[in-house]
Structure 1
């Protein structure tokens, strides 16, 4: 797709992966929650694959103590590869976990002060470039991928973006919700102007049923806002508060994702994602379906 000469392409992505994963203890006592597998790939791999599909080149992981396994996953495992090669085994399964040297950067979030603070910690790498944000807990499955869909729209109109999903009105109070504006022509109704952002509104006060769903494209000016921003809800530096200050000063749009979202930050969502993806795989769908029927007594 042609990119307007006035629009700077998105080549960097930030992955906030410093969380402790307390909802999955004791599994996450020694293993980062982002390394828990959905079938045969760790959760973080799905987000990285989505970023690559969108043409993103530099991956910035905002990590914390005990998160080295995430970086090691994307490193070359010389001993493993040499052993597999020596035994005549294919290395195809390892290919998605390889990242070229220089394309992966890590920074530390030393104090857990929220998502906004995690993004601010990556400011030296972000520089003056637009950048994407992936929340790996939110597994987004679709063709094209969520970020690819967002980047394609960004390349036409520029500015800032969030991904959104339509949910029943009864569920809006659990999420950030956009106040929608006009729907630009030429996007099949998937692009919506964002007039405001409301965090966890009461259903009767919600400006829409479009919830923010864990993918963002932001301009570097948001870093300046985060630098001086005071703590918000929960005593944390909230990214939503900083994004709200961009509205009206820069173009801001939402892309309605056409695929599926799984909340892998919850145990139920994690199990749902595992089952749903297994049922889509030709190599195991029939067996998994038979197992599910047996367990359900069908």
Structure 2
């Protein structure tokens, strides 16, 4: 069986939810404490055994390429000042086989994946979305690869969400749980209204595909939002070959929204060796301050 060694990271979105910060800065470069979100995604792929990664980008994304390029002046400065720990962190970003392809027009996630067809060739591959950061003992991408090694079939990651949130996601209609956490799927629905959602199992930002997904994408017509929807192509592929869904039991952080990005910074900051103690103290002090303010604003009881 062919091994999964290639990955696509779509990064061509305009990042409108983070304007004005993303007017000139790639959304994927917004930091979680001290590391850009896209670096977490690249590191997950690398830890999962991926050897070659293509980032599908767009205009105003040059900062991503610069981040993963070498910076001899900075490295020399850190070396001369004996800042060995910082130097090691900087050099880590260049120890990756990265390639870049431009998506000319924002035609949707499906089109972004199709843009990388020539890079992938006739091989299985994974797709990692930058808006989703995952936390688990075994990287989610590696979990999908392990499933593929068993089944040889396309497999995507799903996670249970509150039923009222189904309109934010692609959702699966499972026909059977063939192994614990592995579902055979009848159909895939893009952003269904809660009353129409076939389940609470939402597709999250990790996919493993056989190369036949490209044929499905080429035949997919624009769907929701006038874009080429990856979920529609997956549903089409499922009619000709089995597509499985793997339930992720770890933690997922949505860094594509303002509140999700803030929450992720706090969570990561509470584990970062340089920030965890001070941040915990600040949160405790802030909690005490807010409690006092709430108490002062509460109406006093009268006898």
Q: Of 32, 42, 52, which residue of structure 2 is paired with 1:48?
A: 42
Once the two structures are TM-superposed, the CA of residue 286 in structure 1 deviates from its matched residue by 2.5
Q: Between Structure 1 and Structure 2, how many residues are aligned?
A: 287
Once the two structures are TM-superposed, the CA of residue 133 in structure 1 deviates from its matched residue by 0.5
Counterpart in 2 of 1:239?
Answer: 230
Once the two structures are TM-superposed, the CA of residue 99 in structure 1 deviates from its matched residue by 3.2
Asked whether 1:137 is paired with 2:128, we answer no
TM-score, structure 2 length as denominator?
A: 0.90
C-alpha deviations, 1:136-177, integer Å up to 9, x for none?
011112211111111111111121111111122222222111
SS at match of 2:204: strand
TM-score, structure 1 length as denominator?
A: 0.92
Q: Which runs of 5+ in 2 are unaligned?
A: 292-303
Once the two structures are TM-superposed, the CA of residue 52 in structure 1 deviates from its matched residue by 0.5
Q: Of 135, 141, 148, which residue of structure 2 is paired with 1:147?
A: 141
Q: Of 162, 171, 181, which residue of structure 1 is paired with 2:165?
A: 171
Distance 2:105 2:193 in 1: 31
C-alpha deviations, 1:151-210, integer Å up to 9, x for none?
11111112111111112222222211111122233xxx2222222111222323322111
Higher mean C-alpha displacement, 54-63 vs 255-264: 255-264
Asked whether 1:63 is paired with 2:57, we answer yes
Once the two structures are TM-superposed, the CA of residue 282 in structure 1 deviates from its matched residue by 4.1
RMSD: 1.4
SS at match of 1:254: strand
Once the two structures are TM-superposed, the CA of residue 223 in structure 1 deviates from its matched residue by 0.9
In terms of fraction of residues, the more helix-rich structure is 2
Contact 1:75 1:99 in 2 (8 A): no
Contact 1:177 1:197 in 2 (8 A): yes
Q: Of 204, 215, 228, which residue of structure 1 is paired with 2:206?
A: 215
Higher mean C-alpha displacement, 284-293 vs 157-166: 284-293
Once the two structures are TM-superposed, the CA of residue 265 in structure 1 deviates from its matched residue by 1.1
C-alpha deviations, 1:23-60, integer Å up to 9, x for none?
11111111101011001110000000110111011110
Larger-Rg structure: 2
4+ aligned runs moved over 6 Å, structure 1:
none
Distance 1:84 1:15 in 2: 30
Contact 2:269 2:275 in 1 (8 A): yes
Distance 1:190 1:163 in 2: 10
Asked whether 1:225 is paired with 2:216, we answer yes
